[in-house]
């Protein structure tokens, strides 16, 4: 049986690995938008869900394939939810995990409240004009550590501390992270919805 192709509106290799790993058992072949030379979509909106929809429609319109986009970021309580939708560009352009993390630590070093959560919303479209996208989301609570720990993950993971596990996200094995992370929770819901509505 031929695999269903699905274009991912991202070129982030960490994200592509995570998503591909979960969707492969459903007979879905995950392809990055870079494989089709799709330019990056604008993300002009103030909410994760609107930006994810814009990215998914953009990728689907350029490829004529079903598309999946996620928009995710880290939201810090003391910063009223920032960096939020600007998480990937928090330290300026070009994007740099190192600069993003440095800016966050600089802003928080005198803060006693360093509670934070990762948030992820995933949008799946049959086609660019799909009026009924599948939308799922997930949240992962923790706090910001001022010193990094761990070699795994990406983004803010070395600074995202999980008090109940006494580890940062970057110290978790990928299997465990995929089960409990914001993206893992959203993808678990997505897999169920795909089983019910697609396969």
Q: Is 187 within 8 Å of 22 (Cβ atoms)?
A: yes
Sign of the alpha-carbon dihedral angle for 170, 175, 180, 186: positive
Q: Tokens for 21? A: 């790993």
pLDDT, tens only, 136-154: 999 999 999 999 999 988 8
User: Which residues does the annotation mark as catalytic?
Assistant: 71
What number of other Cβ atoms are within 10 A of residue 19's Cβ? Answer: 23
Give the confidence band of 199 by pLDDT, cuts at 50, 70, 90.
Answer: low
pLDDT, tens only, 80-109: 999 999 999 999 999 899 999 999 999 999
Name the nearest CA neighbour of 5 among 24, 31, 26, 41: 31
- Report d(CA 160, CA 154) in Å as an integer: 11
Mean pLDDT computed over 153-157: 90
Non-local (6+) Cβ contacts of 67 within 8 A are: 6, 7, 8, 9, 56, 57, 59, 60, 124, 125, 128
- Report d(CA 2, CA 96) in Å as an integer: 38
Architecture of domain 4-197 in CATH? Alpha-Beta Complex (3.90)
Give me the residues paired with residue 136 across strands. 122
């Amino acid at each position: 049986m031929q695999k269903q192709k699905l274009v991912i509106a991202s070129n982030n290799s960490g994200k592509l690995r995570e998503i591909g790993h979960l969707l492969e058992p459903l007979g879905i072949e995950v392809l990055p938008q870079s494989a089709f030379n799709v330019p990056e979509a604008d993300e002009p909106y103030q909410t994760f869900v609107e930006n994810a929809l814009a990215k998914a429609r953009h990728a689907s319109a350029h490829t004529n394939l079903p598309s999946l986009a996620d928009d995710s970021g880290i939201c810090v309580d003391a910063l009223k939810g920032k960096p939020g939708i600007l998480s990937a560009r928090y330290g300026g352009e070009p994007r740099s995990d190192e600069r993003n993390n440095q800016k966050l630590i600089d802003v928080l070093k005198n803060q006693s409240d360093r509670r934070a959560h990762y948030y992820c919303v995933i949008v799946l479209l049959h086609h660019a004009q799909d009026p009924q996208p599948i939308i799922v989301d997930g949240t992962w609570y923790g706090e910001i550590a001022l010193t990094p720990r761990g070699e795994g993950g990406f983004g803010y993971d070395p600074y995202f501390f999980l008090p109940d596990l006494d580890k940062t996200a970057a110290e978790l094995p990928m299997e465990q992270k995929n089960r409990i992370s914001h993206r893992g929770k959203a993808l678990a819901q997505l897999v169920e919805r795909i089983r019910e509505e697609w396969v």
